[in-house]
A = this chain, B = another copy of it.
Amino acid sequence: MSTQEIANAFFGLCAEGKFEEAGRAYWSSDIVSIEAVDGPMAKVTGREAVEAKGAWWYASHEIHSIKVEGPYVNGNQFTVRFTMDVTPKDGQRLTMDEHGLYTVSDGKIVEERFFYGSHLAA
Partner-contacting stretch, out of A52-60, A70-78, A87-95? A70-78
Label chain A's interface by main secondary structure: strand
Q: How many copies of the chain does the oligomer comprise?
A: 2
Given known A-B contacts A79-B79, A99-B99, A120 and B70 have beta carbons under 8 A apart: yes
Is A46 in contact with chain B by the CB < 8 A criterion? Answer: no
Nearest chain B CB to A6 CB, angstrom units = 12
Give 1 or 0 for each of A106-122: 1 = CB within 8 Å of chain B CB.
Answer: 00000001111110111
* Contact across chains for B118 and A71 when beta carbons are under 8 A apart: yes
* A120 adjacent to B8 (CB under 8 Å): yes
Q: Is the CB of A73 within 8 A of B116?
A: yes
Q: Are A116 and B72 closer than 8 Å at their CB atoms?
A: yes
A28 beta carbon closer than 8 Å to chain B: no
Task: Indicate which residue in B36, B67, B68, B121 contacts A74 across the interface (CB closer than 8 Å).
Answer: B36
Most buried by B among A12, A78, A98: A78
Apart from the given pairs A11-B118, A11-B122, A36-B75, 7 other A-B contacts in the complex at a CB distance below 8 Å: A8-B118, A12-B120, A70-B117, A72-B115, A74-B113, A74-B116, A78-B115
